[in-house]
């Protein structure tokens, strides 16, 4: 009986052949990105200094579906379609009448969803003659994914890894090097941005905003080098929609449809990838709750402001309208490095602002508690980032139990935590605290917003 399945698998021939682009379905148009140099709407020529035209066109495309080139599909086939798993043991442990499903993106060779866009970005850059990419990485997942993707296309990659993660996760660095990437802790003496920060504070722990500035500087000052961003941008969120498109088909196979769709949010890409196909259904009248989960230590959606802000610390990346905690926001060194970004994808920000999606902030100890329960029931040790989605899924399942409702809950397991065991160790030894980012610091960080003249 298909209804009794635990792993719901799609055959390779059912893998999506197109990405879903949500732009034409938005409740209102996105505000245009702005150039940090001029304060005016950014031109394709300015973007062309660091991105290939193929991706710039995707960034602004009004087509609802965009064909995935064959070379990318060939690489996707190494791990896609990824399984959708019914978490029966987790349901039993909670004693909930709810059905919980998770999409297992941890099966990608790099360990997370990030490879879905890494392969696409390497492909479009290679096609336009670029031989090297520079990038940032927080948790190490994105740098790993881009190193593997560039390896497939015979390209070099230089990764600026946020200092705190670099120190916490030495094996992530080796993983990137195994696939041919080179890794530098950020802030670094290699860029003028890094040198300036280190002169003021030699022990600076770094953050994604600084690492992005360094990588953008390298791309902007070297002709053969482009910049690749692992989240936030429209085309990145679009590349991730293979997750939600597959999930919808897999649920159809067992005759189900979610009441709640859940994902964790850092810059917003894994959540967007899972959620956007369901957002489309919601915009077309279907009832479904779509929930983004963020840390209380970096509460971009739940405590930030919807304004134009810089994407990076040194004001080099495009200025976009988004939820933000201010580009100078310095998050504490929580154990979900990939969720420590001050901003949020403009697409997601707009959907939240228009009340199409919901958001919640959760503390890290509750997330690790959920992660351990998940590991002991479903077997997979989740990435600390993904544990935020697990926490929210468990909370929804407990609510369903209290209400006596047989809800269907679907969440995205964005990655595994095999390189995050030092964080688990700190949790087990009682060294992790919950941290609420103080409202006063957010107010301060929001005083230096850009002046936009549209």
Ligand X SMILES: Cc1ncc(COP(=O)(O)O)c(C=O)c1O
Task: List contacts with ligand X (CB under 6 A).
Answer: 112, 138-139, 141-142, 231, 264-271, 338-339, 383, 385-386, 414-415
Nearest alpha carbon to residue 311 among 240, 208, 218, 238: 208
**Closest separation in Å from C-beta 138 to ligand X:** 5
- The DSSP letter of residue 204 is -
- Which of 23, 400 has the CB closer to ligand X? 23
Nearest alpha carbon to residue 316 among 138, 137, 49: 49
Q: Which residues contact residue 107 at a Cβ distance below 8 angstroms, ignoring those fewer than 6 apart? A: 79, 82, 83
- Which of 52, 266 has the CB closer to ligand X? 266
- Which of 267, 311 has the CB closer to ligand X? 267
**Closest separation in Å from C-beta 95 to ligand X:** 28
**Closest separation in Å from C-beta 13 to ligand X:** 28
- Which of 100, 293 has the CB closer to ligand X? 293
**Closest separation in Å from C-beta 451 to ligand X:** 28
Using CB atoms within 10 A of its CB, is residue 29 exposed (0-12), middle (13-18) or buried (19+)?
A: exposed
Do 145 and 115 touch, CB atoms closer than 8 A? yes
**Closest separation in Å from C-beta 60 to ligand X:** 20
Do 176 and 159 touch, CB atoms closer than 8 A? yes
**Closest separation in Å from C-beta 83 to ligand X:** 17
- Which of 244, 266 has the CB closer to ligand X? 266
- Which of 214, 385 has the CB closer to ligand X? 385
Nearest alpha carbon to residue 108 among 141, 138, 139: 141
Nearest alpha carbon to residue 337 among 145, 432, 170, 207: 207
Buried b (16+ CB within 10 A) or exposed e, 192-215: ebbeebeeeeeebbbbbbbbbbbb
**Closest separation in Å from C-beta 226 to ligand X:** 19
The structure tokens listed for 189 are 């003496």
Nearest alpha carbon to residue 135 among 104, 161, 115: 161
- Which of 367, 400 has the CB closer to ligand X? 367
């Amino acid at each position: 009986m298909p209804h009794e399945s635990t792993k719901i698998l799609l055959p390779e021939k059912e893998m999506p052949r197109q990405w879903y682009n949500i732009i034409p379905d938005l409740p209102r148009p996105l505000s245009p990105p702005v150039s940090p140099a001029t304060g005016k709407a950014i031109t394709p020529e300015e973007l062309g200094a660091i991105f290939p035209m193929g991706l710039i066109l995707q960034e602004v495309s009004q087509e609802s579906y965009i064909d995935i080139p064959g070379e990318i599909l060939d690489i996707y086939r190494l791990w896609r379609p990824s399984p959708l798993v019914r978490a029966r043991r987790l349901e039993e442990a909670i004693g909930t009448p709810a059905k919980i499903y998770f999409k297992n993106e941890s099966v990608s060779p790099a360990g997370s969803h990030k490879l879905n866009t890494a392969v696409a970005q390497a492909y479009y850059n290679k096609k336009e003659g670029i031989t090297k990419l520079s990038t940032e990485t927080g948790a190490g997942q994105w740098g790993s994914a881009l190193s593997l993707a560039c390896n497939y296309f015979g390209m070099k990659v230089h990764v600026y890894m946020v200092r705190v993660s670099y120190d916490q996760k030495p094996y992530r660095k080796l993983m990137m090097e195994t696939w041919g990437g080179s890794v530098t802790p950020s802030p670094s003496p290699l860029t003028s941005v890094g040198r300036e920060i280190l002169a003021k504070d030699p022990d600076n722990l770094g953050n994604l905003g600084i690492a992005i500035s360094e990588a953008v500087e390298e791309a902007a000052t070297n002709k053969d080098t482009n910049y690749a961003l692992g989240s936030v941008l429209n085309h990145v969120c679009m590349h991730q929609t293979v997750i939600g498109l597959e999930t919808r088909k897999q649920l159809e196979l067992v005759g189900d449809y979610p009441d709640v769709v859940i994902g964790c949010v850092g810059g917003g890409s894994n959540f967007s990838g899972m959620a956007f196909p369901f957002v489309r259904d919601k915009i077309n009248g279907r009832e479904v709750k779509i929930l983004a989960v963020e840390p209380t230590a970096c509460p971009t959606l739940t405590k930030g402001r919807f304004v134009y802000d810089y994407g990076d610390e040194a004001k080099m990346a495009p200025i976009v309208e988004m939820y933000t905690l201010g580009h100078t926001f310095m998050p504490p060194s929580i154990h979900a490095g990939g969720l420590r970004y001050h901003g949020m994808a403009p697409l997601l920000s707009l959907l939240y602002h228009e009340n199409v999606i919901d958001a919640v902030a959760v503390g890290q100890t509750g997330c690790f508690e959920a992660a351990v329960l998940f590991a002991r029931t479903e077997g997979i040790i989740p990435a600390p980032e993904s544990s935020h989605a697990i926490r929210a899924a468990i909370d929804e399942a407990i609510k369903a139990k209290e209400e006596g409702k047989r809800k269907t809950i679907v969440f995205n397991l964005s990655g595994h935590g095999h390189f995050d065991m030092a964080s688990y160790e700190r949790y087990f030894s009682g060294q992790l605290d919950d941290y609420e980012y103080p409202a006063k610091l957010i107010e301060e960080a929001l005083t230096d917003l850009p002046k936009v003249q549209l």
